[in-house]
Amino acid sequence: MGAIGAVLGGLLRAGDHVLFVNNVYGPTLELARHLERFGVEHTVVTDPAADLEEHLRDNTALVYVESPGTMLMRVVDLRALTALARSRGIRTAIDNTWATPLFQKPLELGVDLVIHSLTKYVGGHSDVTGGAVIGSAELLREVFYRGHQLFGAVMSAMEASLVLRGLRTLPVRMEQHQANALRVVEHLQRHAAVAAVHHPYADPGPDDAVVRAQLTGFAGLLSLELRDGTFASVERFVDALRVFRIGVSWGGYESLVSSPVRADNADRLRADGLSTGLVRLSVGLEGTDVQLDDLDRALAVV
């Protein structure tokens, strides 16, 4: 959030408008709502295939996208998005945490600023918190002096050393996360208790060519929809897991599970376009045999 806050706080001013595209990390939108008190407006378009031009305003200063997006892992056509924004003189930023710098290179697709949560795959060992912003020297000067130094999100030397350690093994770890995740995706797609699996490999959306053009690999974060889409079913499934432990962060060795489903938020989920049987999995590095056994045992009780 330090990196995201530096971008929004460093580039925006009262009277600006931000267009958020796709399912975006929840705290990012919380920050956007907080900025409303300072005169910064925003609009959220969760459909990655929507006509974005009709949502742009004369005062739109930034188009902020997450791709693949939170929870449903849908992919946005970044070349089309950046071409539209540049034609209107609007800057663009992306949260590229899911794909990492290895599997997606947004700067080559026209995006102005790329944000990574170093807490996830880049750090890779569940023991560091940090963020990074990558872009042109000109833009980074604005972000650095206004949004970074003044807001105080400065990484310590110890955390920086842990990030460097993670970078050394990132290619090897991501290849294994990918191999494990694709096997899990294929297994879940065949399971009778699963209604849908959301991951660019399994669910590329309306334009498979965009996925192939943008992503050179697939990360280990995915979601599934239980066929019995009730809170009780989700609760039984999550509680029955043993290898997949409950946790909201991801990207380390450990396999994790989380869900936005609560006993009293079915209407809110549907309004946000999410299933009441939605469960997110981060496929770790324990090995697919134990991961699949764990999932099968838990799916048997829903």
Q: Which of 107, 104, 174 is nearest to 134 (CA)?
A: 107
pLDDT of residue 209: 84
Taking the chain (302 residues) in runs of 10, the rounded mean pLDDT of each run is: 91 96 94 96 93 95 97 95 97 98 97 97 96 94 79 87 97 98 98 97 78 94 96 97 96 97 93 93 98 98 94
Q: Is 28 helix (H, G, I), strand (E, B) or coil?
A: helix
Give me the amino acid identity at 59: N
Claim to verify: residue 181 and residue 293 sit in the same structural domain: yes
Domain finish residue from 157, 182, 204: 157
Among 126, 157, 188, the domain boundary falls at: 157
Residue 148's pLDDT is 75
Q: Does residue 52 sit in the same domain as residue 153? A: yes
CATH number of the domain that 227 lies in? 3.90.1150.10
Host domain of residue 132:
2-157
Q: 265 with 187, same domain?
A: yes
Residues 6 or more apart whose CB falls under 8 angstroms from that of 195 comprise 225, 226, 227, 229, 275, 277
Choose the final residue of a domain: 117, 135, 157.
Answer: 157
In the DSSP assignment, the letter for residue 217 is S
Q: What are phi and psi of 109, to 5 degrees?
A: -100, 5
Q: Are residues 10 and 79 in the same domain?
A: yes
**What is the CATH classification number for the domain harbouring 21?**
3.40.640.10
Cα–Cα distance, 151 to 158 (Å, whole number) = 20
Query: For residues 135 and 107, is the Cβ–Cβ distance under 8 A?
Result: yes
Residue 205 forms part of a structural domain:
yes
Q: Quick check: helix, strand or coil at residue 265? A: coil
What is the pairing mode between strands 256-258 and 245-246? parallel
- The reply to whether 234 and 197 lie within a common domain is yes
Do residues 40 and 173 share a domain? no
DSSP 230-262: SHHHHHHHHHH-SSSEE-S---SSS-EEE----
Place of tokens 């929870």: 71
Cis peptide before 68 (omega within 30 of 0): yes
Shared-domain flag, residues 208 and 123: no
206: number of Cβ within 10 Å: 10
Q: Would you state the pLDDT for residue 146?
A: 77
User: Are both 10 and 149 inside the same structural domain?
Assistant: yes
pLDDT of residue 147: 73
Q: What is the pLDDT of residue 206?
A: 61
Q: What is the pTM of this model?
A: 0.93
Pair (63, 10) in one structural domain:
yes
The verdict on residue 163 lying in a domain is no
Same domain for 149 and 38: yes
Question: Considering the domain boundaries, does residue 103 fall inside one?
Answer: yes
Question: What are the tokens at 180?
Answer: 């494990």
- Domain count within the chain: 2
Q: How many CA atoms lie within 13 A of 271 on its CB side?
A: 5
| 41 and 103 fall within a common domain | yes
- Closest listed residue to residue 196, CA positions, set 288, 265, 271, 278: 278
Answer yes or no: do 179 and 132 share one domain: no
Look-up: residue for tokens 């376009």?
273
